[in-house]
Structure 1
Amino acid sequence: MLNPSIDSLLTKIDSKYTLVTVAAKRAREMQLANNCVIEQPVSHKCVGKALEEIDVEVLSYVPSEDKGIE
């Protein structure tokens, strides 16, 4: 079983695709700067740590306004 669960994560971010993008960007930041906000993460990998940050609402996502195609 995945920890945190996908259902729990989708209550914080509305789309699986957005969730993956946000987690990947944060994981890349952690790889470069080694700065995990959670004191004792369950996961050892950066992507897992990023998902944990999203789950405990340390990391959030604010959608940009869609300008659309004219």
Structure 2
Amino acid sequence: MMLEPSIDVLQEKIKSKYTLVILSAKRARQLSETKDLQVENPQSAKYVGQALEEVVAGKLYLEENN
């Protein structure tokens, strides 16, 4: 079974796997409460998958502090 989006595509957007996990988990909690999805017609029915789809779409990202 192939998981979408792939880790390679996700790491093009966010380099650290740890950061990716934390960001997607926080966003999944938000989605479970608000249902305010930023992508249309998500492939995933689960909140974490939907959060990862937002990362790939460029809707969910991490701002870097300078």
Relative to the length of structure 2, the TM-score reads 0.92
1:1-70 maps to which residues of 2 (within 5 A)? 1-64=2-65
Q: Distance in 2 between matches of 1:64 and 1:3?
A: 29
After TM superposition, give the deviation of residue 39 of structure 1 in Å: 1.3
Structure-1 separation of matches of 2:56 and 2:40: 14
- Percent identity over the alignment? 48
Give structure 2 stretches of 5+ with no counterpart. Answer: none
Work out which structure has the larger RCO, using CA pairs closer than 8 Å and 6 or more positions apart in sequence: 2
Deviation, structure 1 residue 63: 2.9
Larger Rg: 1
Q: Displacement of 1:15 after TM fit?
A: 0.3
Q: Deviating runs (4+, > 6 A) in structure 1? A: none
Alignment RMSD (CA, Å): 1.0
3-state SS, counterpart of residue 44 of structure 2: coil
Normalising by structure 1, we get a TM-score of 0.87
Aligned length: 65
Of Structure 1 and Structure 2, the greater helix share is in: 2
Alignment gaps of 5+ in structure 1: 66-70
